[in-house]
Structure 1
Amino acid sequence: MRPALTLFARFAGLSTGVAERAPDNRIAVLDAARAFAIVGVIAVHLGLWMPALPPWLNVVSELGQYGVQLFFVISAVTVSYTLEADERRYGASLQIVARRFYIKRFVRIAPLYYAAIVVYGVLDYLAHLAHGQITLQHHASDVMANLLFIHGWLPTSINSVVPGGWSIGVEMSFYALAPFVLYASRTARGLWMTGLLMLICGASIAVMGACSAGVQCHIENNEFFYFWLPVQVPCFVFGLWLARFGMPLLTGSRRLPWRALLALVLAGFACLTLVYEFGAGAELAHGLAPSAAGLAAVCMLIVASHLPVRWLKAPLVASFGQQSYGVYLWSAAAVALVRALLKTPVGTALKHFPTLGFLFALALVSALSYAAALVTTRWIDRPCGAWARRLLLAHGTQDARRHPAPGAGGEPVE
C-alpha cells in the first residue's frame, strides 16, 4: 500500500509526509469512517450501471448510498469539536466563534465545489456533443443557486449541477445554523432540548413538504423531499449528541466494557435492518431511512473506535478518509470513465464475472477519484487553506487581546 500511496502523492505534488500522516489533532476513527463511507457511495453509483450483479452484492451496493448519512454524522461531530475548541479559546463570544467557523467551512467547501461546477459543466458540454450527458438538465439560475449554496432548497438545483451536490447543499445549510445550535446547547439539558426541537421541526417540515406535493404524503428515494435538510436533520442531531457524550470514546481515551460493546454491535445491526426495511431494500418508508442510517452510523463509530489504532491510522485508510470530500466530488467523473470502459471488450469480458468486474470497477473508480482529489488538494485546497490560516491567525491575535483565553491562535482549517 505504501508505494502506491507515495506514487499518488508525488503525482499530486504532495510530500509523502502530508499524504501519509494525519495532523495530531485529527480523530483517527473519523478519517477511517470517512474512507468507509466514500467507498459505499462509489459502490452505489457503480451498481446502477452493472445490473447483472448477484443479489447479495446488489443489496450491499444499494446500502452504500447511506454512506452519505455517515458523512453527516461525522460532520456534526467535527463541527461540534471545532466550535467548542474555538469557544474555549475566545470565551463565549458568539460573534468571534461564528466568524471563524464560517471562514473555515467556506474555505474548506467552496473552492473545490466551485471547481467541480466548472469541471462538470465542461464535461457535460463535451458529453452533449457525443449525444450523452453527465449532469441532469439545468439552467443558469441553478448554477447560481449552487454558487450561493442555496441549492439544497430548490428542486431544480439540488442535484443537477454537480452530481451528488445535494449533500453539499444539506451540509452548508446545517453549517449556517451550527454556531447558533451549539450556542443554545452549552448545557446537557440545552443540548437535549435543542436536539429534540430540531427533530420535531425537521419532521414537521418534511411531512408538510411531502404532503404539499401529493395526497399520499410519501417521500421517494433520491428525489427532492428525500434530499433536503428536514429529512436528513436527524443525522446531524445524532452527531451532536455523540460529540458531547461520546467524544472520549471516539478519541480512544475511554473504552467500553465488552458487554456494552456487544450491545452496540447488536444495536447497529438492528439499525441496519431498519435501514434495509425503510430504504433501498424493502422501500417501506424512505423518509425514515436517513434516521435509521444515522443511528447505525453512531453505533458504527463507537464500535470502530475500539479497533486497533494501527488499523485506523493505516496510511492509505487515513489519507483516503482525509481526501474523502475530493473523492466524493470527482467520483462521478470517474464512474463516467468506467462506464465508457464497460462498453469496450474489457466490459464484455467482465460480464462473465460480475462480482470480479464490480470489484475491479470499484477499485478503479476509487483510485482515479483519489488521484484527482490529491491533485486538487495540491492546487486548490492547500493554497486556500494557507490563506485562511493567515487570515484566522491575524484575527486570532486581535480576538485574543480582546478576549484573553489560553491557547488562542490559528489552527489548521479542517
Structure 2
Amino acid sequence: MVATMELPRVEPAGPDAGRKDQGTTPAAPAPARPRLALLDGLRLLAALAVVLFHWTAWHHGHWGRHGETAVEAWPWLSQFSAVGALGVQLFFVISGFVILLSSFGKSPARFIGSRVGRLYPAYWVAVLATSALTFVLWPGLGSERTPGDIPANLTMFQGGLGVGHIDGVYWTLWVEMKFYLWILAFTLIGMTVRRVLVFALTWPLLGNALFFILQSSGQPVAWVEHVFFPQYSALFAGGMALFLLFRFGHTPLRWAALAVNVAIGSLWSARVQQPETVELTGYDYSFWLFVGITAGLFALVAVMVLTPLAAVRVPGMTLAGQLTYPVYLIHQLWGWWLIMLLSPHLPRELVLALSLAAVLAVAWTVHRWVERPLGPRLQRAVTAGVGKLDFLASSR
C-alpha cells in the first residue's frame, strides 16, 4: 500500500532541536514551508516499481496471442522488475514518516477525519470499478471472489473480517490501517517525542520476540501477526524514527532506533520477499540481496529528508505524489485486462506504454474528480461527527 498522506508543509529541526526538552510536551504545529518534493516523486516511483512487478514479472499469463507469462514476454526487464515488490516496503517506510509528520499535535477527531477523507473516496471508486471488471467485463478473473465480498471490501477492514480482497493489492491497506490504529491510540493518550521514540524501539522488538517465542514453542502466532504485524512493523517504526530526526534533531537514541529498525525491517523483508519472488516470478535471488535493497530504501528516504535534498523543488512532484494512491489502487487487474486485450495485436513495448498511460490517466481523473472535491468534504464531516464523541474530542 502506498503512503497515502498529503505531505504537510513543515519546518525541519534546527541545530538545537535535539537539545530541547521535548519528552513530555506535544509539539506545536510547525511553521509553513514548502512540501518535501522529492519524497512525493519517490512515492510514485515506488508505485511504478510495483506496477512493473505485477505487469512484467508476476506469473500471470496475459501477454501475447498464446498467453505468454510475464517473464517469457520480458526476459530482460523481468530480471529487475522481479524485485519491484519491494516498493511496498518503501511505501511503509514513507508512511511511518509522513503519518507522524501530519498527525503530530492533532486531536483524535482530526486524525480520523484526515484518514477517512484521504483514503476512502478513491478507494470506493476503485472497489466498485474493479468489481465491475471482475464480475462483469472479465468474469472468471477472480473465481475465488464473489459479489458478496463487495460490502466488506468497501469498509477497507476486510482483512480483519476474514473476507477476500476484490483486488489482491488491497492487502497492504489492512496493514496500513492497523498502523493507523496504533497512531490513533497515540492521539488519545497524547503524542510526545519520548513516547514515540520508546514505541518505535519497543513495538518491533516486542512483536518479534513474541512471534518467535510462540512459534518455537508451537503456540498460535496469528494474534501477534494481527496486533504487532512483525513482518512490517519495523518499516513503519523506522519511518517514525526518521520523522523524529527530521523534526526534532539528531540524538544517539533516535539514530539507534533507526538502526534497530533498519536491521529488523531488512531481515524480515528478505525473509518474506525472497521465497515469494521465487514462487511468483521464478527468480531465485540471494537472501542478502533483499536485505541490501531494503536497507538501501531506508537510506534513500533518509537522504531525502535529512539532507539539503529536503529543500529541493522539482516541478510536477506534487502531482506525482497525488497520483500515487489511485495508481496503486487500480493498476493490477485493470492493467492485466488491458494487456490481455492489446498484446495479441500490438508490440509488447507499445502495450506496456499504453497500459501505463491509461492507468496514469485514470489515476489523474480519480484524483481530480473524486479525491479533490469529495475528500475535504468527507474529512470535515467525519471530523465534526467524531468530535461530538466526548472521549475523542477531549483527548489530546
Q: TM-score range by the shorter chain?
A: 0.5 to 0.7
Contact 2:112 2:383 in 1 (8 A): no
**Matched position secondary structure for 1:52:** helix
Q: Does 1:384 align with 2:374?
A: yes
Tell me the CA shift for residue 382 of structure 1: 1.6
Contact 1:34 1:71 in 2 (8 A): yes
Could you state the TM-score of these two structures normalised by the residue count of structure 2? 0.67
Q: Does 1:365 align with 2:385?
A: no
> What is aligned with 1:176?
181
> What is aligned with 1:408?
none
Cα deviation code 1:31-87 (max 9, x no counterpart) = 11111111101110112242136665323201111111111111121110112143x
Structure 2 unaligned runs (5+)? 1-31, 59-68, 251-258, 278-282
For residue 319 of structure 1, what is the amino acid of its counterpart?
A: L
> What is aligned with 2:8?
none
CA change 1:107–1:389 in 2 (3 A) is closer
CA change 1:396–1:207 in 2 (3 A) is closer
Identical aligned pairs, as a percentage?
Answer: 24
Contact 1:242 1:298 in 2 (8 A): no
> What is aligned with 2:62?
none
Cα deviation code 1:311-342 (max 9, x no counterpart) = 75232x43122210011111124412432245
**Matched position secondary structure for 1:164:** helix
**Matched position secondary structure for 1:314:** coil
CA change 1:78–1:241 in 2 (3 A) is same
Query: 2 CA distance for matches of 1:140 and 1:164?
Result: 18
Structure 1 unaligned runs (5+)? 1-22, 87-96, 220-224, 255-263, 351-356, 404-414
CA change 1:392–1:155 in 2 (3 A) is closer
Say which of 179, 201, 205 aligns to 1:200: 205
Say which of 108, 122, 129 aligns to 1:119: 129
Could you state the TM-score of these two structures normalised by the residue count of structure 1? 0.64
Say which of 65, 90, 94 aligns to 2:85: 65
Say which of 146, 157, 160 aligns to 1:150: 157
Query: 1 CA distance for matches of 2:179 and 2:101?
Result: 15
Contact 1:210 1:218 in 2 (8 A): yes
Say which of 90, 107, 111 aligns to 2:117: 107
RMSD: 4.5
Tell me the CA shift for residue 187 of structure 1: 5.0
CA change 1:310–1:285 in 2 (3 A) is closer
Contact 1:277 1:284 in 2 (8 A): no
Contact 1:42 1:362 in 2 (8 A): no
Tell me the CA shift for residue 209 of structure 1: 8.7
Query: 2 CA distance for matches of 1:335 and 1:116?
Result: 13
For residue 299 of structure 1, what is the amino acid of its counterpart?
A: A
1:47-86 equivalent positions in 2, closer than 5 A:
47=56, 48=58, 49-52=69-72, 57-86=77-106
Query: 1 CA distance for matches of 2:206 and 2:196?
Result: 15
Query: 2 CA distance for matches of 1:337 and 1:100?
Result: 39
Matched residue pairs, number? 327
